[in-house]
Chains A and B, each alone.
Chain A
Amino acid sequence: MSRKEEILGRIRAVIRERYDKPSLDDLQATVFPDPLAAFIAASQTAGSKVVELATGADINETVRGLFPEAGVIASNLPEISIATLNPDTVGSAQELNGTDVGIIRGSFGVAENGCIWIPQAMKEKAVCFISENLVILLSKTEIVNNMHEAYRRVDLGDYGYGTFISGPSKTADIAQTLVMGAQAARSVTVVLV
């Protein structure tokens, strides 16, 4: 008998009472009168900067304006022309180390907590974490109220990886002092388009 069968058999032998799965239909989850406003507020609380792309403004100029000093910019988004590195074509994830700004696209935002769903859409997902500054492009019409709505939309895509990101990497491990920029991106800017 395999280990798997042995373990499952042990469990089967000792379970006495089987409990039903609860229905979540009656769960009265928070919804917002203005989900976009709630999303922006939650993102800022999480430490993100939120900017709206002005009508007719160019995304490249906008990002450049936000990070005038940036040398290495990594992105595989077709509308990004200022990228100096492409996470699809780098030889290894390690080559993305030293990226000043990574630019990626989010699928949708969550109003209750500022999470943005980022399905992997590049060969090296490292760009989402290794960049000093992360810029997430997000359509302002793609905002859901809460995580229940969010998980009905979650799709990992072909790469089989996805993450909700809410604000920069942070830690309070030293004496409960909140510090932005632990191991991953030190800043997150959400550009609403």
Chain B
Amino acid sequence: MKIGLFVPCYVDALFPQVGVASYNLLRYLGVDVEYPKGQTCCGQPMANGGFESQAAPLAQKMEELFQGFDYVVAPSVSCTAFIRHHYPSLLDHECKMAGKCMDIVEFLHDIVKPTAPLGSFPHRVSIHNSCHGVRELGLSSPSEEHIPQFNKIRDLLQLKEGIEIYEPERKDECCGFGGLFCVEESAVSTRMGLDKVRRHAATGAEFITGADCSCLMHQSAIARKNGIQIEFKHVAEILAAGL
């Protein structure tokens, strides 16, 4: 089984350590992972902003880049959700990416299924349930729906010894990032982010963790600006810590 690692543009540029953690974690778990060169962006920012046509050539490129892989794994729920749900309509031929691209949390949880402890992380963490992870990829049961409760991020984090896991009040309300939403609707976006960070901080957590760096990036900027002492780590970073 050959796995291609997709490190989306903003993770590549701003959170390279998340790419490294993802790569190391997959390798540690015995996954045959490769990072094909020449990756940029999946096209989501432009499409969500209303310019889907600009995403089409990028979709085509992604399709070619990951041709030879059984799965494409990305440390980003929103990019994965975009690829899964929108690529088929962007391409004028059959889309392979949509069926084989997975977020790293769902890939580990559903395919690799690790059960042995993954070292320790003796800290209090608050899970940030990103909207696209919850409502588009099904990483956890949406709070709105009456279905059995589950949370794949929590399941994985429980493999770390000594970890204390929390979720904020309003456990899957949006943090307000929303791609270009944070530019176009900056006032609402900032308020949403501040409300979110405060609720995470109220759990007493030292870290906010989640499966999408963009939500974490938005919140960390707001936390910094408002003097809220809390750190941010992608789930992959916590899982890979100390391995």
The short answer to whether A and B are in direct contact, CB under 8 Å, is: no
